[in-house]
Structure 1
């Protein structure tokens, strides 16, 4: 997968900007606030139909403007593909591939495989379980449409079941038969999602460990553990046993929407016991494993976006990362950095062609 050109209109701080890219390495350099990360986010937008950094769609429109357009020209399987994402205030976002609008955004997921590594990834370590579930879901969904559909359906049913529990509480009533309709559907979608997540992690964790070893020079032992209610029992049984708790809480307290990942270094939580450098190395290994997995599943080399990656890493770890990406296994790279000189020195070590864009 190659992004040949990018055109932005009223996207974040860009009024109008065009980029023509190198097929290997592209670097956005400049002071803070000039739009380096915004340029990477525009590329992410073309892949996922949304921003990586700001979930409020209208906030990606330039101040005092009415719309934004992000336009990308790609080469995939030697064929030219044009993707356009646009949003007008007060209207729905539109994603088009070769001038034809998608009916469902989910149909586009996975068409432009992409992995981003960013300082914002630290949320995977410090925030709650939802962030880690979203990470797993985004990796699997890029190559598994059935999983994505199950996830969408599960979340719809979960919302309906929670609304019913609230209705029971407000009206001081209860109907077990009504609840069981939703229980059956949650069991159906949830058990499939659980099995897919479990199978995925069995494949993913060894890849991740290998990547971490390469970045850290085998200095530390790391692990990921999958935590799920469904290791204890099937979801139908769990929902029956938790019914009184759910009635009191007015929401569904068990299920795959409570799953979590435990990130560990030397058998301890990395959140508490990992240094900044170790945490950053952990996250980079996580994302490089994501890259490997998506490439393996889809047969397409994802775009790799490195946002401010060289910050807070010592030179030996930077050297290891450069050594890793100086490999035909990787395709097109996009890098952002505040230090133009540092970036140029780094990319010169990679024996590939490159372009530097000073913003």
Structure 2
């Protein structure tokens, strides 16, 4: 699978953009702050129906414009697909495949799998548990439609239960029968979500360990532990046990929406005790394991997006990464970098097919044609 062509109108800082890509390595080069990462984000939209960085779609419309359009043409084992995303201010997002609009955006997730490696990945270590749950759910949702549907249903039930708890608080009332209706649904979806997450980690962690050893070339022991907010309790028992606390704070305090991943290095907290280099290696191993896991599940190579990776790794590790992603094990790759000559030299040395696009003041020029 690869992205043959991308077209943009009024997306973030780009008035217009159109390019045809190499099936292997594509580089967007230029100074910082000129919109290289925004081009990666447009590709992310085509896969996930949303931005990697911004939750509110309208914030991605170019300043003083009324809409944006992203259009991509994919080749998937010889099958051609056109993917379209259009947004007008104060209107519903339109998302189409082959000119047919989706009833539910979740139907599109997983059709064109993608993995993005970005400086913001550090949020997985430094931010709240929500970032780590999103990482977990994002991987599973790309290959398991049942999981995605259950997750959406779980979140809808959770919203209703929290609204009911707030209503009890505001009206100084309580109705156990109504609450039990939502509890039963929450338990039904929650148990299934937990089981799928645990099964996923059993398969994912060995891949992650393998990549960490390869990247770090060290004998450090790394680990990922699933932290269940219920502890050893069954979900139904947990909801009953925490009911008084839930009523006091007006929201549901236990369940898959409160679970977390605990990252360890040599049995110590990665966040507190790992060096910057160790943390970078850990994050890179997470994302590469994500790539391989999805590839195995979908039997197709996801697109791989590398944002500003050169400046975050030393040259030896970056060269090693470049050699790895240019192998047959990986498919199409998009990279942002600040130095065109550096990228061109590295790719020519390794005789890797590539295209380089210079991004400058909203103009994008192709510096290379595909090499053979």
* TM-score normalised according to structure 1 size: 0.98
Counterparts in 2 of 1:162-181, with a 5 A limit?
Answer: 162-181=162-181
- 1:318–1:219: structure 2 CA closer, same or farther, 3 Å change rule? farther
Give SS of 1:294's match.
helix
- Measured in 2, the distance between the counterparts of 1:349 and 1:202 equals 39
- Measured in 2, the distance between the counterparts of 1:204 and 1:269 equals 20
1:214–1:320 contact (8 Å) kept in structure 2: no
2:303–2:332 contact (8 Å) kept in structure 1: yes
1:113–1:142 contact (8 Å) kept in structure 2: yes
2:83–2:98 contact (8 Å) kept in structure 1: yes
The runs of 5 or more residues in structure 2 that have no matched partner are 360-372
- Measured in 1, the distance between the counterparts of 2:214 and 2:204 equals 16
Alignment correspondent of 1:118: 118
- Measured in 1, the distance between the counterparts of 2:227 and 2:156 equals 23
- 1:325–1:260: structure 2 CA closer, same or farther, 3 Å change rule? same
Q: Is 1:306 equivalent to 2:312 in the alignment? A: no
Per the TM alignment, residue 277 of structure 1 is displaced from its structure 2 partner at its CA by 1.8
2:158–2:186 contact (8 Å) kept in structure 1: yes
Alignment correspondent of 2:80: 80
- 1:345–1:271: structure 2 CA closer, same or farther, 3 Å change rule? farther
Per the TM alignment, residue 158 of structure 1 is displaced from its structure 2 partner at its CA by 0.4
CA deviation vs aligned residue, 1:253-291 (integer Å, no higher than 9, x gap): 111111100111111111111222221111111011000
Q: Is 1:332 equivalent to 2:332 in the alignment? A: yes
- Measured in 1, the distance between the counterparts of 2:119 and 2:200 equals 25
Give SS of 1:71's match.
strand
1:26–1:335 contact (8 Å) kept in structure 2: yes
Alignment correspondent of 1:101: 101
- 1:345–1:263: structure 2 CA closer, same or farther, 3 Å change rule? farther
1:7–1:70 contact (8 Å) kept in structure 2: yes
Per the TM alignment, residue 170 of structure 1 is displaced from its structure 2 partner at its CA by 0.6
Per the TM alignment, residue 56 of structure 1 is displaced from its structure 2 partner at its CA by 1.6
Give SS of 2:143's match.
coil
Per the TM alignment, residue 349 of structure 1 is displaced from its structure 2 partner at its CA by 4.4
Alignment correspondent of 2:295: 295
Counterparts in 2 of 1:259-278, with a 5 A limit?
Answer: 259-278=259-278
Per the TM alignment, residue 223 of structure 1 is displaced from its structure 2 partner at its CA by 1.1
Alignment correspondent of 2:322: 322
1:322–1:349 contact (8 Å) kept in structure 2: no
> For the aligned residues, what is the CA RMSD?
1.1
1:277–1:312 contact (8 Å) kept in structure 2: no
The runs of 5 or more residues in structure 1 that have no matched partner are none
Q: How many residues align?
A: 359
CA deviation vs aligned residue, 1:148-167 (integer Å, no higher than 9, x gap): 00000000000100000010
1:305–1:334 contact (8 Å) kept in structure 2: yes
Give SS of 1:187's match.
helix
2:110–2:143 contact (8 Å) kept in structure 1: yes
CA deviation vs aligned residue, 1:158-214 (integer Å, no higher than 9, x gap): 010000001001111111111111110011000000000000001001100101111
- 1:140–1:279: structure 2 CA closer, same or farther, 3 Å change rule? same
Alignment correspondent of 2:364: none
- Measured in 2, the distance between the counterparts of 1:285 and 1:254 equals 30
1:326–1:351 contact (8 Å) kept in structure 2: no
Per the TM alignment, residue 347 of structure 1 is displaced from its structure 2 partner at its CA by 2.3
- Measured in 2, the distance between the counterparts of 1:345 and 1:205 equals 35
Alignment correspondent of 1:19: 19
CA deviation vs aligned residue, 1:120-141 (integer Å, no higher than 9, x gap): 1111110000000000000000
